[in-house]
Structures are given as structure tokens and as C-alpha cells.
Structure 1
Amino acid sequence: MESSRRKFVQGTAAGLLLGGLPQARSQGLEAAKVVIGFAPGGTIDVTGRRVADKLAPVFAKTAIAENRTGAGGQIAVQAVKAAAPDGATILLTPASPLGLHPFTYRKLPYDPLADLVPVSGAASFDYALAVGPLVPAAVRTVPEFLAWCKANPGQASFGSAGAGSAANFIGAALGKAGQADLRHVAYRGSQPAMLDLIGGQLAAVVGPTGEFMGQLKAGKVRLLATSGPRRGKFTPETPSYAEQGFKDLAYLGWFGFYLPARTPGEVVLRLNDAIRTALSSPDVVDSLAALYLEPYPTSPQQLAGLLKTETDFWAGLVRTVGYTPEG
């Protein structure tokens, strides 16, 4: 892994300084597309479409979003990996396919470090631990929830949007840290888990905070913690895991923009500038806030650093949980 990281950093630096490759000048692009590995209507899809709307005409004459779903975002990564390195095909991905999947799959069809060039962060969010009516109203904190789980082992469960997901590992690591046997229930998406949570069939759900806000406002769920390094902008009354003594669970989720490896450095920097400008637009900021996301623009080098931090975080957490990679 360290060897791959060195190659990645060297390759990124070379790409940004490169003068020898043909310069596919971004102002000459007829069309660009933002490839998104998830279905239309979700938070990452809306983020990609809002930014794509702003890329024309400053980066390309036209720009669209294209959904290439499947394998938890891996199909989109493969599509961009195989694309021409001219700036016309842009990946918007959550961190998981690049930072988590190397530890949950025995073999990936791409190298997260060698096959992509980082451009900019897009949006950030935290994960929340929500409990429903199965858990007594007197339970208001994470330590109290873990104590209740130990006292009620038959009901000690949490759901997530899928086995091997970020939420799966955060919940499993919480159980390990609190020495509570939390049974994981994997769902096909967040909504089925939410239905069981508010219906009293499931004690808790771990997922992006924004997914709970409607039910939180309706009084149907309670948030016990969020995963960010500090209290979330949209949930200032909910303490973080770190505040409650679980510093190893401090984690900020993010979406990021990438280009195929060997994309000329001039194109990377022009796209970075266009994305940062888009993310500062008041209408984009408002659109993200409606989804409980915060704009997260970065330099290419900062995004490379984020991925390294991400990889290190999941390496430790997956090891702690003892997860066996899939085939």
C-alpha cells in the first residue's frame, strides 16, 4: 500500500507539472460529463448535477451528469478509468469505493491510487446513530444505548444500507468499543431500514445524518451521536461520538471529483478552478444545505491527502471489526 501511495503522489505531482503530454485545453472541450455511480435523486446525484450545470461554459461548452450504477460505485470508477484522459469524463464518487473497498473486496477492477487523478472535494457529511421506539425514551446518549444493549441482548441490533458499507463498520466498531454485541442487519438501501426503525422492529440505524432529518423533525427517531470531528452544522444539539468518549469513531464522509490517470495537469487545474467556483455559488450552497451537505472544495493535493487519511482510517476500523473481504 505504501508503494502505491508513493507512486500516486509522484504521479500527481508529475501530472500537475507536466508539459510533455499533448495539452487537451479545457476551453476547447465540446462536452464534458460527470459520471456518478448511484441512482438519480440521491444526495451524490444532486451534487453532481448542480456542479455539472456550472461547468458550462467555463470548462466545456456543454456539461451533463451521467449515472453509471452498480457494485457500490465501482462501475462508475471503472468507466472513468477507461476514459480518454482529456478532461471530458469526470468521476464524482463517495470516498468508500476508493478508501474502504480495498479492504472489503479481495480484488478491485481498478487501483484507486494509480488509475485516477484527484481534482477537488465536492461535499461533506457525517454519519448519525439513530434509535427508534424500540429503545426507551430515557436512553439519550451512546453510553446509555450500549448499556441498554447489554441488558437486552435479544434486541441489540442496528441496521445499515448494506453489508460492508461505511455505516456497517461504524456501527460494528461502536459495538466493539462499547463491549456490546450489536447484531448488524443489512438492508438494500436506507429506506427499508428506516421503516423497520420507526416501526419498532429495529433498535438503531447508522447512516448519513441527512437521511434521518425528516423523521427526526417528525419526532419518530432520536439521534444519539454524529461522527464528525465536532457537532454537525445541521444537528448542533446532538453530541459527537468523540464528545461521548469514542474518539476512534470520528469520521467525516465526503464526495470527490476525479479524472482518469494521465490527464494533463493544466486540465486538472482548470477543472479544479471551475468546481471550486461552482461550489461557492449561492444556489449550489443552498441546494446542498437542503440535503444536509456542506460544500467541500479542495486542491488536488488536499484531496490526495484526504484519501490517504480515509484509507488509514478504514484499514484500522476494518481490522478492529475483523471483517473478511469478499471475493
Structure 2
Amino acid sequence: MISIAKLGFLIAAAATQVLPAFAQSAETFPNQAVRIVVPFSAGSNTDILARAFGSQLEGMWKQAVIIENRPGVAGAASVAKATPDGYTILLTSNGHSIIGSLNQSLNFDPIKDFNGVTQVASMPAVALAPPDGPKSIQELVALAKSKPGQLNYASAGLGSAGNIASELFKQVAGINLVHVPHRGTPEGNMSILRGDTSIFFTFYNASGDLVDSGKVLALAVTSPKRMPVLPNVPTMQEAGYPTFDFDGWFGVLAPAGTPKPIIAKLNKDFATVLADAEQKKRFSALGVELVGSTPEAFDKLIAYDAERFGKIFKPVAK
């Protein structure tokens, strides 16, 4: 029979062996391909960021970085249920925070089943309209009020950043717009080009070429100040909605239970990418600010948005 003293010694010895194992795994991570799941279609804002970061991470890690587009809840679910070892991570938008409000029968928890790694970007949305549509936010609101429930808005999918911005817009403007979800930003752009929808909250990095070429109209931006790339487009505050507060964030999540040393390694390596001068210059020209954070700060941001925007979407979910 093993004595209590000897048993305690064995437990302590085992614990000292586990700690170096975690440290070693972080030091050697990654030693195989890393999969970044994007819950939107190719060409979407999230996809653009993932591919830019993935290319640079491949050079740093000397391992393949696979970008997997899995639009919708299925993308987040696949990561929530993945092995928590850092080799499958999610790059998503602030729409992730309201998945639980939009889907009452999820088989995973969008907050508890993930660990934050880092925020990677912050970007204001741009409200687009067809070239023959209303020429300002004020005109659009007036038209919507004269035809309640007859105008619609496009989004890159239910729960996307544009979906959140549009529902917030409906609330502060007191209008009724019908949601027309698409698979991603490219499809949303096409709906505005064709005139199938009346407004589309999207981002300059994925739709700016349409604005610059005059193929669509930019009615307003959601930033507190005008965007340098769109100096003639007013802010939502200037358009008469001072309480409209929306900033689209994008960030990286890992499955809950991923070892903290691995989270720390991912956070550190993404921080290196985000600090790269060429990356900053490239995305700044597209109206995107690369922004890092600690894992803890990112977890708090997601929880804050889940509480704030969940109140708007609960009626939609019922």
C-alpha cells in the first residue's frame, strides 16, 4: 500500500512534469498546419483579413495556414467543437457576439465555448445605396417612413456586422426595413448594384471600389469622424443620429480549454503581424485600423456586445 506521504510526492512529481509539457508545446507551436475558419464567404471582409494574416503567419511559423470558409453558424460551431490545441481557430466579426440571441437552439455557447485570442481590426461601416436610390440618409429615412415595411436592407448574412449596424439603424431612426441576408459581402454588393435592396452597411475595404467608381452611393459612415478615404461622406452623427454608435470589430477566437500558453503564443504572433508597417499601410488605405488586444480584453468586448446588441436582436429571435 502506498503511504499518504508517498502518494503526495507522486502527485507533486506528476504536476511538475505537466507544466514543462505545456511550456514545451507553446515553444514548439505550431508544428503542423493551422486552420483559420472564416464564417463568411470568400471575398468578405473577414476573409480578406484572414488571408492577409495567414500569408504572413505562414512565413513566421514555417507551417501551412489554411483558410477555410464556412459561412454561417456552422463555421463557429466547427471551431467550438474542435480540439482545443490552437490548430483550429476562428477569425470572425462582432456578429459572433449575438449568435446566441439569433439562434435559440444552438448546440454550443458562442461565449462560453470560446477563448479570446486577440482583436485584430476595427473599421467603421459605410452605408451604401443604389445609384438611383436616395441621395442621403435623411432621404432614405423619409422614404422608409412613407413606405413602412416596403424597403429592405442587405447584409453579409444573419449576425454579420452589417446586420447589426442595420438593426441599430432601424432602432435609432424609427423605421421598418426588411432584412435580406446574403452569403457574404460580394453578394450584398451585387444586390445594391442591381437595386434589389435599398441600403447595405458594409466596409470600404470590400466595397470601396464601387463607391470610388460611382457605381453605388455612400450615404454615411459609422465612425465618429469622417473617414480619410471618404472625406465627402458624412458621419451618421452629422446625418442627424448622434446616438448611433457602431464600430465593426474583427478578432480571433480559439476553442474553450485551449492551454493558456498556446493562447499567449497566438496572441504574441498575431501582435507581430498587426504591428507590421506594410500591413498597417495596406489596410489603412482601405479604411481599416489594425488593432490588437489582450485575450482578456477581447473576452470582455465580446461579452459587452453580447449584452448590448442582444437586446436589439431578442425580438428577432422569437
Q: TM-score range by the shorter chain?
A: 0.7 to 0.9
In structure 1, stretches of 5+ residues that fail to align are 1-17
Match in the other structure for 2:304: 309
Q: In the alignment, which residue of structure 2 is the partner of 1:104?
A: 102
DSSP-derived class of the 1:323 partner: helix
Query: Are 1:323 and 2:312 an aligned pair?
Result: no
- What is the distance in 1 between the residues matched to 2:200 and 2:69? 27
Q: 1:25 to 1:294 in 2, by over 3 A?
A: same
CA contact (8 A) 1:155 1:202 kept: no
1:43 and 2:36 correspond: no
2:65 counterpart residue number: 64
Is the CA contact (8 Å cut-off) linking 1:130 and 1:204 kept in structure 2? yes
Which shifted more, 120-129 or 85-94?
Answer: 85-94
Pairwise CA distance, 1:188: 4.2
Q: Deviation of residue 241 (structure 1)? A: 1.9
Which range is displaced more, 102-111 or 195-204?
195-204
- CA contact under 8 A between 1:35 and 1:76: conserved in structure 2? no
In 2: Cα distance, 1:90 partner to 1:67 partner: 10
- Does the Cα contact within 8 Å between 1:118 and 1:301 map onto a contact in 2? yes
Q: 1:227 aligns with which of 202, 209, 222?
A: 222
Supply the AA of the counterpart residue of 2:248.
G
Unaligned runs of 5+ in 2: 1-17
Residues 229 and 242, structure 1, Cα contact 8 Å, conserved in 2: yes
Q: Partners of 2:118 and 2:229 in 1: how far apart?
A: 23
More displaced 10-residue stretch of structure 1: 196-205 or 246-255: 196-205
- Which residue of the partner structure matches residue 197 of structure 1? 192
Question: How do residues 1-327 of structure 1 correspond to structure 2 at under 5 angstroms?
Answer: 22-29=22-29, 30-37=31-38, 38-56=40-58, 58=60, 60-70=61-71, 72=72, 74-97=73-96, 99-136=97-134, 139-140=135-136, 142-151=137-146, 156-289=151-284, 291-319=286-314, 322-325=315-318
Q: How many residues align?
A: 299
The AA in structure 1 aligned to 2:305 is E
Q: Distance in 2 between matches of 1:130 and 1:254?
A: 19
Alpha-carbon deviation of 1:67?
0.2
- 1:200 & 1:46 partners in 2: Cα distance? 25
Percent sequence identity is 25
Answer whether contact 1:32 1:89 (CA < 8 A) is retained.
no
Cα separation, 2, equivalents of 1:163 and 1:266: 34
- CA displacement, residues 169-207 of structure 1 (integer Å, 9 cap, x when unaligned): 433442343333333334444444434433445432232
User: Over alpha carbons, which structure has the higher Rg?
Assistant: 2
